[in-house]
Amino acid sequence: MTSQVLAVKPLPFPVDPAMISLALDQSFNAVLLTDANLGKDGQRIVYANPAFCQMTGYTQQELLGRTPRILQGPATNPDVIGQLRESLRAGTYFHGSTINYRKDGRPYTVEWNISTVRNAESEITHFISVQQDVSDLMAAQKSTQIFASVLNATEDGVVITNSRGIIEFANKGFEKITGYGLIDVLGRRPSMLSSGHHDAAFYEDMWGTLRQGNTFRSVFTNRSKNNALIHCDETITPLCNEAGEVTHYVSIFRDVTSHVLEASKLRDLVRYDSLTGALSRAAGELALQKAYMQSLGGKVPMSIAMADIDHFKQVNDKWGHSRGDTVLKAVSHSLIATLRANDSVIRWGGEEFLLIFSGCGLEQARPLAERCRDGVQRTTTDEVGQVTVSIGVAELQLGETVAQLIERADKALYAAKHAGRNQVQVSSETQAEYSA
């Protein structure tokens, strides 16, 4: 290390010694000047500024003529003191830190910068030490380390961003859940985890809540480093300074993927008929109500169809219920595969299925129903062979209820049965004729 030397040399401009003394006396940092005695007793203090006296609790009179060793104690690091003495003997600059003790016995952490003072002949005459009490800084660093250790001990993911949403910290729990380590995410935004499953309204609600200084909580569907979907129960809390300004956001989340998947399976068990894969009766009634309200609100057409498997009782009687179940599955799968994505297939009861044709009038619904009938007719099963269905179609009319619409479709179905089966019949009744 290059030696830093303070040499007493003539200056090219006049300097008032009183001004130098005044500057040292008013220095924020503690300044100590000792002689260059490297003997057994060590250096003696020849000057200590007010900042040094305030830091140590000693008056200048109590310090003058004494050795800086009076500041040392049980926790003073002997290795650091040894390095200090070696630097002084070598006449080189020294920088170090250890624990010293105030007059009242209280310890403090001091950071030194010690340089040599030389005369015109380059002889070391004094050592000047500029010191700073860094106890608060060390305590803050220790608190930060403890804080980080605590956060890393939890299995929950923790992310801290600044007010602009830039990640400044992520714990080990975050890495375990997402697969991303701290180095991967520092300087990036949490949106890097976005899966695309949340719409703009979701994020508008989130930011609206946070800007009001409130905590936002929701289940986020994120995407991990290995591209897997992860469901996280997450709370995001804004942190404010004394002026009420947001400085950071803290996000704490827990991986609830297994719970979400289990709940989804349970919902599917309730939503879908376990045998056929069509909507259950309860879920179907909700789908009917939704389509009905959309038709009324948007003034768009809505049609439904009732489909019934022909001669199904004979299938059960001749081949047994297991073959009957096979037929039900085959018919349901055919109907689902034939219809559009926004249409619905409901197992209405027994061998009967209700079809919802969203946004369709009769001119569109009838061809769809014919396609369904034809698709089933092309389906064959072991032993039973070809299966057919009869279908009745009806379009929602002005002022009609869902129950009335279903009844008209049911009448059309029975008309198809009576006309020879394996065909589509359309309800020709008007609302006025039906009400009459």
Alpha-carbon Rg for the chain, nearest whole angstrom, is: 43
Strands 344-349 and 352-358: antiparallel
Residue 57 lies inside a defined structural domain of this protein: yes
Residue 298 lies in a domain: yes
Same domain membership, residue 184 and residue 129: no
Domain ranges, residue 83: 5-133
Domain closes at, from 133, 161, 192: 133
Q: Has residue 8 got a pLDDT over 60? A: no
Question: Span 82-88, mean pLDDT?
Answer: 89
Q: 214 and 293 share a domain?
A: no
SS3 249: strand
Mean of pLDDT over the chain = 87
Across the range 425-429, mean pLDDT stands at: 86
- 267 is a domain residue: no
- Domain match, 165 and 120 both: no
Q: What is the pLDDT of residues 331-390, one digit of tens each?
A: 999 999 999 988 999 999 999 999 999 899 999 999 999 999 999 999 888 778 899 999
One domain, residues 162 and 180: yes
Mean pLDDT over 187-215 rounds to: 92
Q: CATH number of the domain that 361 lies in?
A: 3.30.70.270
For residues 272 and 279, is the Cβ–Cβ distance under 8 A? Answer: yes
Is the pLDDT score of 12 beyond 60? no
Give the span between the Cα atoms of 157 and 373, in whole angstroms: 54
Domain end position, chosen among 226, 261, 296: 261
Whether residue 325 is contained in a domain is answered as: yes
Phi then psi dihedrals of residue 330, to 5 deg: -60, -45
Q: Is the pLDDT of residue 85 over 70?
A: yes
Q: Are residues 120 and 156 in the same domain?
A: no
Which tens digit of pLDDT belongs to each residue from 13-23? 555 667 777 77
pLDDT at 174 over 70: yes
- Please determine, for residue 228, whether its predicted confidence score (pLDDT) is greater than 60: yes
Whether 13 is in a domain gets the answer yes
How many structural domains comprise the chain?
3
Same domain flag for 205 and 243: yes
Rounded Cα–Cα distance for residues 425 and 116 (Å): 109
Please, which residues bridge with residue 108 across strands? Answer: 100
Region 118-124: what's the mean pLDDT? Answer: 89
Q: Is residue 375 part of a domain?
A: yes
For residue 266, tell me if it sits in a domain.
no
* pLDDT higher than 90, residue 411: yes
Domain boundary among 79, 111, 133: 133
- For residues 191 and 295, state if they share a domain: no
| pLDDT for 10 | 53
How confident is residue 262, by pLDDT bands cut at 50, 70 and 90?
confident
pLDDT digits (tens, 9 = 90+) for 265-303: 656 656 888 899 999 998 899 889 989 998 887 778 999
| Residue 282 and residue 407 in one domain | yes
Amino acid at 177: I
Same structural domain for residues 234 and 278? no
Q: Tell me, yes or no, whether 328 and 409 share the same domain.
A: yes
pLDDT tops 70 at residue 433: no
Which of 4, 263, 40, 303 minimizes the C-alpha distance to 130?
Answer: 4
Residue 93 falls within a domain, yes or no? yes
Same domain, 227 and 280: no
Average pLDDT (144-157) is 77
Distances (CA, A) of 66 to 43, 77, 414: 8, 20, 115
Q: For residues 381 and 329, is the Cβ–Cβ distance under 8 A?
A: no
Task: Tell whether 359 and 285 lie within a shared domain.
Answer: yes
